[in-house]
Amino acid sequence: MKDVRIEKRLKCLVIANPAAGQADRSLVDDVAKICAAHGAEVRIAWTARPGHAVRLACDAVRSPARDSFQVVVSVGGDGTTREVACGLVVGGASAARHALLVVPAGTGNSTYRGLWGDRPWQEAAELALADPAGWVHRLDLARVAESKRLVVLGAGAGLTAKVIEGTRDLATSGTDAELTGPARLQAGLQRALAGFRPYPGRVTVDGTVLHEGPTLFANVGGGRYRAWHYQVLPRSVPDDGLLDVCVVGAGVGVEFAELQARLREGAHLDLPDVFYRSGRRVVIERTDGEPLCFEHDGDLVPDPGQRATLEVRPRLLPVLCDLGR
């Protein structure tokens, strides 16, 4: 659905995270050149600390100029994209004046894949900047009630979060510390599997229990993909006003290698002990009194407690993307 007609001077703020695995100056220069080739006024800002991208994007949105259309380009991973998206929302971004463009330069880059599929980022950027009006969509986000944090890509508990933990631990693991992209996530998965045990959990969707019992993982969000490869939420529509939920219980009945293969194709929903639903409010709990291992947008949540409540925030974020696939 096209939201707006854009007939304004184009401005691009490129926000790049130097801590992201692939966000180097060469990539950022290439992004800036594509922006400039479409007549845009370009400004580059490198983040200096966690949370900095939120402030940069927020300030851009609050700029008083009314005669331009501002594209805020996120160059980094899913965590960087979340920060930039939060800044746009906090700043009051309007689809008539602002939009997010994602350039993948992190580890998982699942947000980008959900927005543009397998299309190279250069092609996506060329299409979006040549005709912003044709590519602006307003996407749903989620909000974690306990922390008040916005969720862009999605959230996960159990093995999903343990993979993030394993990937983080690679920094001190010798040769594995040099891995990037999907290879880094795969190494993190192998670390997570080594000591992982299903946790006693419960997932409730709009007040109805979807699953209760031993749980491998629970995923919630609007993005179909996690860790680039895995189509965990294959029925998700990013702007339908609903959160999709997939829970895989311990009785899934297949070896993990087969489960992985099915997740890549989005063909896991017919397995035993796999539950799928969509709704507006989702509660993920650990029922044995221990803290829930929980992440969203590729970042572990410290001290999450035993419960995470996610509530949809419909059509909140203007994004340049291809939802016509």
Distance CA 17, CA 50 (A): 9
Distance CA 245, CA 114 (A): 16
Q: pTM of the full predicted structure?
A: 0.89
Contacts of range 260-266, beta carbons closer than 8 Å, 24 or more positions apart: 260/230, 263/229, 263/230, 263/231, 263/232, 264/229, 264/230, 264/231, 265/231, 266/224, 266/231, 266/232, 266/234
For each of the chain's 325 residues, which pLDDT tens digit applies? 444 444 578 999 999 999 987 889 999 999 999 999 999 999 999 999 999 999 999 999 998 766 789 999 999 999 999 999 999 999 999 999 999 999 999 888 999 999 999 999 999 999 999 999 889 999 999 999 999 999 999 999 999 888 877 666 665 555 555 655 566 666 666 666 667 899 999 999 999 999 999 999 999 999 999 988 899 999 999 999 999 999 999 999 999 889 999 999 999 999 999 999 999 999 999 999 999 999 999 889 988 899 999 999 999 999 999 987 5
Alpha-carbon 289 to chain mean position: 29
Q: Which residues pair with 266 in a beta bridge?
A: none
CA-nearest of 128, 155, 158, 121 to 141 is: 155
Domains and CATH numbers, the chain: 9-134 (3.40.50.10330), 149-156+195-316 (2.60.200.40)
Neighbours of 5 (CB within 10 A): 11
Distance CA 163, CA 193 (A): 8
Distance CA 148, CA 310 (A): 10
* Main-chain phi, psi angles of 45, to 5 degrees: -130, 125
The angle at the Cα of 312, spanning 310 to 314, to the nearest 5 degrees, equals 165
